[in-house]
């Protein structure tokens, strides 16, 4: 599946857990960060192509009192060190019932990243492993690519327009599209 052929892509946003790093539920320990195989290479390819890069991540571990923002930031710094660097990190510290505007699938994190990167939301692609990631992209006016894991629900896969088998394939879709737009 492909991205919209008539849209310029200038930035790429990634979900953190199960997209860039192996998911350790409620992880706020930098020592437990393990990149998804191929994540560093995929991010490196996107950066080399001139795309602006960011991470948009729900971290309810903060709202639940299981970690501090500083601990989550330290964990994110470790991800940045192993997989990045990223131009921007946007973190939702709220729980699902808090009613915030930032928790995916709401658009807040994507809109914040767009503003901080100086890129229109329509020029962004969000890559994630669940429907909420792609939903946040759509709600913000961006495009989304789902990279399913064994935990991704079948209906999430069926409900999104663009699915890639791996993070590397997702980046390839974006780079092919970027090349087609420039030609």
pLDDT per residue as tens digits for the range 119-163: 999 999 999 999 999 999 999 999 999 999 999 999 999 999 999
Query: pTM of the full predicted structure?
Result: 0.94
Q: What range defines the domain where residue 65 resides?
A: 11-182
Select which of 15, 18, 87, 133 is catalytic: 15
Q: How many domains are there within the chain? A: 1
Q: Identify the three-state secondary structure at position 78.
A: helix
At residue 127, what are phi and psi to the nearest 5 degrees? Answer: -115, 130
**Is 34 within a domain?**
yes
> From CA 136, how far away is CA 138, in angstroms rounded?
5
**Is 114 within a domain?**
yes
**Is 4 within a domain?**
no
Check if 87 is active-site. Answer: no
**Is 3 within a domain?**
no
Q: What is the pLDDT of residue 179?
A: 53
CATH number at residue 49: 3.40.50.1000
**Is 6 within a domain?**
no
Check if 168 is active-site. Answer: no
**Is 1 within a domain?**
no
**Is 2 within a domain?**
no
**Is 137 within a domain?**
yes
Contact 140, 123 (CB under 8 A): no
Select which of 17, 18, 87, 133 is catalytic: 17
Helix (H) or strand (E) holding 12: strand 11-14
Q: b vs e for 85-113, b when ≥16 Cβ sit within 10 Å of the residue's Cβ?
A: ebbbbbbbbbeeeeebebbbbbbbbbbbb
Note the pLDDT tens digit of each residue in 68-78. 999 999 999 99
Note the pLDDT tens digit of each residue in 27-36. 999 999 999 9
Q: What is the pLDDT of residue 180?
A: 45
């Amino acid at each position: 599946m492909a991205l919209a052929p008539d849209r310029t892509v200038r930035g790429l946003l990634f979900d953190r857990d199960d997209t860039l790093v192996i998911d350790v539920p409620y992880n706020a320990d930098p020592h437990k960060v393990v990149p998804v195989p191929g994540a560093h290479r995929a991010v490196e390819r996107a950066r080399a192509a001139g795309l602006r890069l960011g991470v948009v991540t729900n971290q309810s571990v903060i709202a639940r009192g299981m970690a501090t923002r500083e601990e989550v930031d330290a964990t994110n710094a470790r991800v940045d060190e192993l997989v990045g660097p990223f131009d921007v990190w946007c973190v939702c510290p709220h729980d699902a019932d808090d009613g915030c505007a930032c928790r995916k699938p709401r658009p807040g994190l994507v809109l914040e990243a767009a503003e901080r990167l100086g890129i229109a939301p329509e020029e962004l692609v969000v890559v994630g492993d669940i429907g909420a990631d792609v939903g946040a992209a759509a709600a913000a006016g961006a495009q989304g690519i789902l990279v399913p894991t064994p935990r991704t629900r079948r209906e999430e896969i069926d409900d999104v327009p663009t699915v890639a088998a791996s993070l590397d394939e997702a980046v390839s879709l974006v780079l092919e599209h970027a090349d087609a737009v420039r030609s």
